Each structure stands twice: as structure tokens, then as C-alpha cells.
């Protein structure tokens, strides 16, 4: 389960820390002092649920740069850097996007896009990918990343994660209150120690279930980005060739913070493990491009 979305882990960590802080400040006691206040709990869950997701979104670009040591191209030092910069700018202009920052980092074959918005985004490509792919294939990969930005995948992911975080926080506390009441048999007001332990356990369990939904969305957006790159280039041949090349070379494992945003990540696990994959298998992505029903049009 190497390709786990760091975005998910980051905001769940934020939620966990905020939960501890609110407990220390007595917020949890206030919510349950005279029986659980469902309306206040829902507001509380939404504030912290979406808060964790949006904090992760806001720090996504600097975290990505730091985690892979990406160097933003400001003044190209060679023809390769100039070509990468010009290609990203050309593709962004073609779909009327604000030009993203462009970076190169040392590592095996991979590339990713991230950022808080379409006007504040980053496209990064590894030296391994540049060395092992033809320029047509690299252009397809860059088109894939531009399609992610064009589709607003980061913001959509944030909204989905925010909704799921809200559910996790709300449901874990409702279950915690029920279990705690059963243990104490309704004696006294407020909550006992069983409440906090139950909340932590069910927050983890519900968080795992929520991550399955997030990973499903992540896999679907890879299909859309592949299709978007084909539309952008006017043909699916280069995108298919790029995916085939990824299957024949060593792909670079990204840090968990940005693993779901890389072009690579399609192993072939089966069964339950597939639910936690951020990327579909490369074979499925290639097959989807080959079986596209509508003719490819430039976007």
C-alpha cells in the first residue's frame, strides 16, 4: 500500500491534533455536558473537518517542493529546462489556464501537479522521466498534469475530504457518547474516560473507510486526466506510449504527501488492497484510452 495519499494523512493528522486541543480546552465536555448536542456537534465537525482539508490544500505546494527537493525553473539553465518550461506554458495557454510554476527534481520517472488553485499551481517533473521518455511522451505527461489543474482536482478532492472528515468527526463522537453512556449506565452528566478512547478508535476506523472513498475518486481522476491529455494533444497515441513506457522503466516513488498526484503509481494488486490505491493499474488506463468512444478533440 505504498501509494497512499499524503493529503489524506496530513489532514487526518490535523484533525487528530485539533481533537486533542479541543479536548484540553473543554470543548468536548461542553458538547456532551447535558446529553449530546447534535446541531453544535455537526457545526463543530464541519469546522474542523473542512479546516483540516483546507489546511492540507493550502500547504500542498510548499510541502511538495520541500518533500522532493524540486527546483522551480525561473531562468532556464539549459535547453532541456527551457523546453520543459515552454511546453508547460504552451499547454496551459491552450486551455486558458494561468501559467503554473514549473520545477524539476532529481529522482526516478514521475511527475505531478499540485497547488491550492488553478492560479496557484505547480507542475514538477523528475530527471528520471526526462531521461527515459521521448519528448512526445514527456509532453503527454505534462498534458496529463495540466489536465489535473484544469479539472480542479485538488479543490474537488479538498471538498470531498472535508465532507468525509465531517462525517468521521461527527459519527465517531456520536458512537463514543453511546458507548460511554452504556458503560456508565447513564449515571452522572458529561462523559467518562470511555468516551475519549471510543472516539479515537472509531475516528481511525471511520477514517479508513473515508480513505477508500477518497482513493476511488483519485483513481477516477487519473482516467479523466489521461483523457484530458489526449484531448489537449489531439491524439491518444502519445499518452498511451507514455503509460507503456512507465510500465517498462523504474517509476519514482513520491513522498506520501504527494503520492496520489504523480503520473506513476499503477501496480497490480488485487482484492481488498486495490481499494486503497490512488492510481488505477497502468493496463486499465491504457485500455480506457484505447476504448474511448468519442473521437479525440482538442480542448
> What is the tens place of the pLDDT at every residue in 124-159?
999 999 999 999 999 999 999 999 999 998 888 888
Reading the block at residue 185, the C-alpha cell is: 449506565
Cell numbers placing 216 = 476511488
Instruction: Please count the residues of the chain.
Output: 299
Q: CA-to-CA distance for 28 and 149, rounded, in angstroms?
A: 39
Which of 132, 115, 125 lies closest to 87 in space, CA to CA? 125
The b/e string for 237-252 (b: 16+ C-beta within 10 A; e otherwise) is ebbbbbbebbeeeebb
Sign of CA dihedral 170, 14, 122, 79: negative
Mean model confidence pLDDT for the chain: 81
278 vs 267: CA distance, rounded Å: 10
What pairs with residue 35 in β-bridges? 33
What is the phi/psi pair of residue 264, to 5°?
-95, 160
Cell 505546494 belongs to which residue?
A: 61
State the cell numbers at 286.
491504457
Cell of 41: 456537534
pLDDT at 14: 55
Contacts of 22 by beta carbon, 8 Å cutoff, 6+ apart: 28, 44, 48
pTM score over 0.75: yes
Return the closest-CA partner of residue 149 out of 178, 124, 176, 183: 124
Q: What was the pLDDT predicted at 145?
A: 95
Q: Which long-range contacts (CB under 8 A, 24 or more apart) does 190-198 make?
A: 190/29, 190/32, 190/33, 191/28, 191/29, 191/32, 195/28, 195/32, 196/23, 196/28, 198/172
CA gap 220, 278 in Å, rounded: 9
DSSP-based three-state secondary structure for 157: helix
SS3 94: helix
Give the residue from 221, 211, 228 showing the smallest Cα distance to 265. Answer: 221
Q: What is the rounded CA–CA span in Å between residue 143 and residue 230?
A: 8
- Known catalytic residue: 287? no
Are 298 and 231 in contact, with CB atoms under 8 Å apart? Answer: yes
**What would the pLDDT profile of 5-40 be if each residue is shown by its tens digit?**
454 555 556 556 556 655 554 555 545 555 566 777
The catalytic residue among 33, 145, 222, 283 is 145
Mean pLDDT per 10-residue section of the chain, whose length is 299 residues? 44 58 52 64 84 84 88 94 97 96 92 91 94 95 95 87 88 84 66 78 88 88 93 93 87 55 57 78 92 51
Coil/strand/helix, residue 58: helix
Closest by CA to 246, choosing from 152, 141, 159, is 141
Written as nine digits, the cell of 126 is 523528475
Asked if 65 and 72 touch (Cβ cutoff 8 Å), the reply is yes
Spatial distance between the Cα atoms of 299 and 290, rounded to a whole number of angstroms:
19
Amino acid at each position: 500500500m505504498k501509494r497512499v495519499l499524503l493529503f489524506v494523512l496530513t489532514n487526518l493528522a490535523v484533525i487528530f491534533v485539533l481533537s486533542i486541543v479541543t479536548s484540553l480546552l473543554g470543548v468536548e465536555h461542553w458538547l456532551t455536558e447535558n446529553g449530546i448536542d447534535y446541531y453544535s456537534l455537526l457545526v463543530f465537525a464541519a469546522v474542523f473537518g473542512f479546516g483540516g482539508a483546507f489546511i492540507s490544500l493550502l500547504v500542498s505546494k510548499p510541502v511538495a517542493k520541500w518533500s522532493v527537493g524540486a527546483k522551480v525553473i525561473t531562468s532556464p539553465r539549459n535547453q532541456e529546462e527551457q523546453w520543459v518550461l515552454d511546453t508547460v506554458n504552451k499547454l496551459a495557454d491552450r486551455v486558458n489556464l494561468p501559467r503554473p510554476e514549473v520545477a524539476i527534481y532529481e529522482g526516478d520517472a514521475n511527475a505531478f501537479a499540485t497547488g491550492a488553485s488553478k492560479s496557484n499551481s505547480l507542475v514538477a517533473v523528475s530527471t528520471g522521466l526526462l531521461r527515459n521518455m521521448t519528448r512526445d511522451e514527456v509532453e503527454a505527461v505534462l498534458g496529463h498534469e495540466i489536465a489535473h489543474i484544469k479539472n480542479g482536482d485538488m479543490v474537488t478532492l479538498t471538498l470531498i475530504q472535508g465532507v468525509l472528515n465531517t462525517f468521521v468527526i461527527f459519527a465517531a463522537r456520536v458512537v463514543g457518547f453511546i458507548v460511554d453512556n452504556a458503560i456508565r449506565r447513564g449515571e452522572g452528566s458529561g462523559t467518562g474516560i470511555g468516551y475519549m478512547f471510543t472516539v479515537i478508535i472509531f475516528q481511525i476506523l471511520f477514517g479508513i473507510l473515508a480513505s477508500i472513498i477518497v482513493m476511488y475518486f483519485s483513481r477516477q481522476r487519473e482516467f479523466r486526466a489521461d483523457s484530458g491529455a489526449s484531448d489537449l494533444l489531439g491524439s491518444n497515441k502519445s499518452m498511451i506510449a507514455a503509460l507503456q513506457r512507465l510500465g517498462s522503466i523504474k517509476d519514482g516513488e513520491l513522498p506520501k504527501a504527494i503520492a496520489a498526484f504523480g503520473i506513476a503509481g499503477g501496480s497490480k494488486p488485487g482484492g481488498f488492497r486495490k481499494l486503497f490505491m490512488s492510481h488505477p493499474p497502468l493496463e486499465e488506463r491504457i485500455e480506457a484510452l484505447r476504448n474511448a468512444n468519442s473521437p479525440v478533440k482538442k480542448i
